[in-house]
Structure 1
Amino acid sequence: MTDQPTSSLTAETVSAILRDPDSPLYPAQITVFCDHCGFEATRDYMVSDSMASAERLAAARTHLVENEGWQHDEYGDDFCPEHASA
């Protein structure tokens, strides 16, 4: 198993990771909030101890941008789908 996060994992993959005693990955809840309205998106992500806090946040942001319509700008701000620019 790799210790790199994946944007979307199937339930079967998550189950296999959790059953693998050699896997460095484990689930962690990460919250990203909209810098416009304060809406919070809390999701479970597979992370490892080797990932810095910024890397874990980047994994959450990537998932939200690619799968849920969020936007992350060059200033480090996050915007929910309602407030993401068109």
Structure 2
Amino acid sequence: MTDQPNTLDPDVVNAIVRDMDDPRYPTQITVFCDHCGTTNTGDYMVREGMTSEDRLAVARTHLVNNEGWEHNEYGDDFCPEHAGSAA
């Protein structure tokens, strides 16, 4: 298991996807770079009842912490190539 918060052990993920009654489940989320249109699509574990904004926040947190993406206070997302740019 990694030291990253909210990271699930692979055995836990396997148990979740096999249990149809578990309120957590994988969902595919795509984040777009607001500068160039590059997309990043990934499968994320979310919970039943999370809003679309909550689910997007899960993907954004992962991309910022692990993939070099940037998210600003205006709701813009930037791929690693454009993160930190004035654009």
TM-score by length of 1: 0.83
Do residues 69 (structure 1) and 76 (structure 2) align?
no
What is the alpha-carbon distance in structure 1 between the residues aligned to residue 12 and residue 64 of structure 2?
22
Amino acid in structure 1 at the alignment position of 2:25: Y
Aligned residues: 81
TM-score (normalised: structure 2): 0.83
Measure, in 1, the Cα distance between the counterparts of 2:27 and 2:61.
15
Match in the other structure for 1:24? 23
Distance of 2:54 and 2:78 partners within structure 1: 19
Q: Which runs of 4+ in 1 moved over 6 A?
A: none
**What is aligned with 1:54?**
53
* Percentage of matched positions with identical amino acids: 64
Q: Verify: 1:84 aligned to 2:80, yes or no.
A: no
| Structure 2: distance between partners of 1:21 and 1:53 | 21
Cα deviation code 1:24-75 (max 9, x no counterpart): 0111100000000000000000112210010000000000001101000011
- What is the Cα-based RMSD across aligned positions, in Å? 1.7
Partner-residue secondary structure (3-state), 1:16: helix
How far off is 1:77 after superposition? 0.2
Where does the alignment leave 5 or more consecutive residues of structure 1 unmatched?
1-5
